[in-house]
Structure 1
Amino acid sequence: MRTLIFVVLLGTGLHGAAAVAHSLKYFYTGSSGVPNFPEFVAVGMVDDVQIDHYDSNTRRAEPKQDWMSRVTEDRADYWERNTNRYRSHQQSFKVSIEDLKPRFNQTGGVHIFQLMYGCEWDDETREVNGFHEYGYDGEDFISFDLKTETWIAPKQQAVISKHEWEENKGLIANRRNYLAQICPEWLKKYVDYGRRSLLRTELPSVSLLQKTPSSPVSCHASGFYPDRATLIWRKDGEELHEDVELGEILPNHDGTFQTSADLKPSASEDWGKYECVFQLSGVKDDIVTRLDKAKIRSNEKNSLVIPIVIVAVVVLALVVVAALGFVVYRKKNAKQPPSPVTNPEVMEQLNPKA
């Protein structure tokens, strides 16, 4: 079971160019007691790219990608319908938090109620996987198993909901239909709308970095798209696992990604046997960077420059302070609907047919 996370503001994440697996996910987050944050936030994601946004402050569903303007070709009232759907869940999530507090013997404090649902579709195998999962205060609460058409309750407090929802055969049929049919259909449409953006590839620039001569050598790749990529170190053509620390794939401000892999070479005379290899999904050729001392960028080269800059800044600051002091001296002198937890009928609203 997946662990739900507190979705605040989602940046642009991206999934693969020539990747055959696509996903459509919706994240709803209701909060209580969180200052300076909307009590309800909803976002839609296609291949981990945010496509829309709604929160209790704006109270409107809004597109987050230019190509999402095409949705009105299939449904003219798309944005109005989604706005109304999000507003409905805003109210039900607020009631749900109040319903869950006594189950967990809680009163006040900060509490988070979440829902993640959607589907994954493989355009090569045609396999579809659906998911519908609730979380409370950062932990799994209850989820729907599409294969067995049952609800799984990892928390004792969720057992009552499990029994109620499994007795509602209409609810089960609704979830099965959405996850297995409607969701994949819309996912295919979204991928088609954003094909030019979602299915593109961009290769990174690769650099070798080292803080000091005794520090590990870092192979840093930045500017690649999509995020389905790997960065490894090899020696004599064999992939290394020891003395290698792999970094996470992180987003850049422009929608591309970056990652790094640190290597502790065994001996300086063997450096010519090492190479950093970047592989991007859908791209045939790898980017291979051989370990070469001459190509390593080190902080030591700039070690003498930093003190000089600091001194210059301090001197400039003193001059400015003195000048301002002189000027001052001269001037001185002259701002409800039923809960989805207790009422399973609300779950039927979780069907974004728009």
Structure 2
Amino acid sequence: MEMKALIGLLLLAGCHGVSSEIYSLKYFVTTSPGVSNIPEFVAVGMLNELQIGCYDSNSQKIVLNHSWMDQFARDYPDYLKDITSHAQAYYQGMKANIESLKKRFNQTGGVHTYQFMNSCEWDDEDNATDGYGRYGYDGEDLLVLDMKTWTWVALPQQVKVDEGIARRNYLKNYYTKECVSWLKMLLAYGRSTLQRTERPEVSLLQRSPSSPVVCHATGFYPDRVVVFWRRDGEELYEHVDHGEVLPNPDGTFQVSVDLDLASVPREDWRRYKCVVQLKGIEDISILLDPALVRTNWGKTGPGRDGGVKSEITTPIIIVCVVLLLAAVAAGVVVYKKRKRFSQQLWDH
């Protein structure tokens, strides 16, 4: 099941750039009964990939993450009350749905994960709206909302689940009006945080002499960044592996782009540059000079290859319980073949 808290890399044919700003309000809801040491139910709210609040079945209350969210809750107490009420209702409904799904798939035991994700998006330039809705079970999509017809589609058979005109009207109103309205109000409070620009730190890393050279940018904000490699001034598309933009614990982001230099002589490395583009700052360009590449082999200081000793440790990404939930989902993902189905799976 796709579960991404990303807008991704902006790779345009022949050119790069950052278009109008697209804002999003997302909710991730997960139920995993029977897993020790974590709540059975967790709901997380994200505003433009920034966690703004978290609810779990143990505390039975929402914990807000920023001072401006505290102020928003004071000014709009109904919002917090409604979200809490929805979370509690989802908790009870999702527990019942898991039992129903276990029977449908002839599952008698084990740990299972049931998830719901939704998002509304708003383009501040042309006022366009978009979004998605998605249900999943044990790491696979079950229902995906068709934003054109406002009906649910059961996967993998692509069977439409139409709940009637009243429900379709409700979904359309929620995703295009109600959710977007809350999104805009939240943006007004968090604008100073969400519209800031933080310059990235860029490093060249190499794990071993035969490994790709990694251009690693971290500490930047917002997450709409473009990182790519050039050779002799021309952008490279081959032998390049683009990683996902990932969150840092402090609310900034990081991304890595690998360059495979297995067939490139060391004396030609200086023909290559890593380029980082972020809205609001000048392009950052770093030359692929062996003396600038941080490695984790050899002695401290310049080595035989001119490299510098530096232990490379994969950064630990912590976003409340989101990764914990992902780990749980990964642990139970698709360990049984499930029977096909073509009827409505649950009440929404």
- Which interval holds the TM-score relative to the shorter structure? 0.7 to 0.9
Partner of 1:247: 243
Partner of 1:220: 216
Cα contact 2:198–2:220 (8 A) shared by 1: yes
Worse overlay, 235-244 or 45-54: 235-244
CA–CA distance in structure 2, aligned partners of residues 216 and 154 of structure 1 = 38
Displacement, 1:46? 0.9
1:270 aligns with 2:268: yes
1:181 aligns with 2:182: no
Higher relative contact order, structure no. (Cα contacts within 8 Å, ≥ 6 residues apart): 1
Write out aligned runs for 1:50-199 (5 A).
50-72=51-73, 74-155=75-156, 163=161, 166-199=162-195
Gapped regions of structure 1 (runs ≥ 5): 306-339, 348-354
Aligned length: 297
Pairwise CA RMSD: 3.0
Under a length normalisation based on structure 2, what TM-score does the superposition of the two structures give? 0.76
Percentage of pairs with the same residue: 47
Q: 2:202 aligns with which of 192, 206, 213?
A: 206
Cα contact 1:4–1:116 (8 A) shared by 2: no
Cα deviation digits, residues 163-187 of structure 1 (max 9, x gap) = 5xx2433222211111111011111
Larger Rg: 1
CA–CA distance in structure 1, aligned partners of residues 272 and 114 of structure 2 = 49
Cα contact 1:218–1:261 (8 A) shared by 2: yes
CA–CA distance in structure 1, aligned partners of residues 190 and 288 of structure 2 = 39
CA–CA distance in structure 2, aligned partners of residues 15 and 68 of structure 1 = 26
Gapped regions of structure 2 (runs ≥ 5): 10-17, 304-343
Write out aligned runs for 1:242-321 (5 A).
242-263=238-259, 264=261, 266-280=264-278, 282-283=279-280, 285-298=282-295, 299-302=297-300
**3-state SS in 1 of match to 2:298:** helix
Letter in 2 for 1:297: R
**Is the alpha carbon distance of 1:290 and 1:4 closer, same or farther for their aligned partners in structure 2, counting shifts above 3 Å?**
closer
Pick the structure with more helix per residue: 1
Under a length normalisation based on structure 1, what TM-score does the superposition of the two structures give? 0.74
Displacement, 1:248? 3.4
**Is the alpha carbon distance of 1:18 and 1:70 closer, same or farther for their aligned partners in structure 2, counting shifts above 3 Å?**
farther
CA–CA distance in structure 2, aligned partners of residues 104 and 183 of structure 1 = 34
**Is the alpha carbon distance of 1:90 and 1:286 closer, same or farther for their aligned partners in structure 2, counting shifts above 3 Å?**
same
CA–CA distance in structure 1, aligned partners of residues 92 and 221 of structure 2 = 38
Cα contact 1:4–1:114 (8 A) shared by 2: no
CA–CA distance in structure 2, aligned partners of residues 295 and 109 of structure 1 = 50
**Is the alpha carbon distance of 1:301 and 1:212 closer, same or farther for their aligned partners in structure 2, counting shifts above 3 Å?**
farther
Letter in 1 for 2:286: T
